[in-house]
C-alpha cells in the first residue's frame, strides 16, 4: 500500500496528495495525520489536492473526518487546490464537505491558518477578562 507523505513546515503539517489513493491509503493518511498532529503539536494542517483529478464520496468523507479529528486535537485543517471540475462534480454528487475550510492554494491556506491562530490568541486573552471578573463577584 502506498502512503501519503506528511511534511512539517513551521507550525503547519502539509499533505500533498500526489497519487490516486486507494481507500486503504486514504484511511492510513487519516491515522498518520492524527499521530503527527499530536507528535508535533502543530496547529494547522494543509491538504493540497491539486493533483487529484477526482474526489469521490469516500475521499470527501476522509477530508471531513480529518478536519474533525484535527479540530479535536487543536489544529485547523484547510483543503487547498481543488480543481474546478472536481468542485462541480462534488456539488452534483451531493457532497457538501461540511466543516471543511478551503483556500485556492497553499499560500492562502497558510494565511488562513495564521489569521485563525491570531484570532484565537486574541479571544483567549479577551475570555480571561469576564472569567476573572466572575470569580471576584459574589
Partner 1 sequence: MTNGVDLGRPQAQTVGSDEDVVRVRQLVRTVAVAVRLSLVDQTKVVTAASELARNTLVYGGGGTVEVTAIDNGRRPGIKIVFVDSGPGIADLDLALTDGYTTGGGLGLGLSGARRLVDEFDIQTASGQGTRITITKWSR
List of residues contacting partner 1 (CB under 8 A): 20-25, 53-58, 60-61, 83-86, 88-89, 92-95
Between 96 and 105, CB nearer to partner 1: 96
Q: How far is the CB of 93 from partner 1 (least distance, A)?
A: 4
Q: Which is nearer to partner 1, 56 or 116 (CB)?
A: 56
DSSP code per residue over 25-54: HHHHHHHHHHHHHHHH--SEEEEE-TT-S-
| Closest approach of partner 1 to the CB of residue 1, in Å | 8
> φ and ψ at 44, to 5 degrees?
-140, 145
Q: Give the Cα separation of 50 and 82 in Å (integer).
A: 6
Decide whether 55 or 106 has the Cβ nearer to partner 1. 55
Amino acid at each position: 500500500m502506498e502512503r501519503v507523505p506528511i511534511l512539517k513546515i513551521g507550525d503547519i503539517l502539509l499533505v500533498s496528495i500526489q497519487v490516486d489513493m486507494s481507500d486503504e491509503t486514504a484511511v492510513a493518511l487519516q491515522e498518520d495525520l492524527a499521530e503527527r498532529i499530536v507528535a508535533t503539536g502543530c496547529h494547522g494542517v494543509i491538504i493540497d489536492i491539486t493533483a487529484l483529478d477526482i474526489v469521490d464520496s469516500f475521499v470527501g468523507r476522509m477530508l471531513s473526518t480529518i478536519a474533525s479529528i484535527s479540530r479535536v486535537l487543536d489544529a485547523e485543517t484547510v483543503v487547498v487546490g481543488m480543481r474546478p471540475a472536481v468542485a462541480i462534480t462534488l456539488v452534483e454528487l451531493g457532497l457538501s464537505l461540511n466543516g471543511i475550510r478551503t483556500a485556492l492554494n497553499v499560500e492562502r491556506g497558510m494565511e488562513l491558518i495564521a489569521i485563525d491562530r491570531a484570532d484565537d490568541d486574541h479571544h483567549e486573552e479577551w475570555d480571561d477578562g469576564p472569567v476573572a471578573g466572575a470569580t471576584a463577584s459574589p
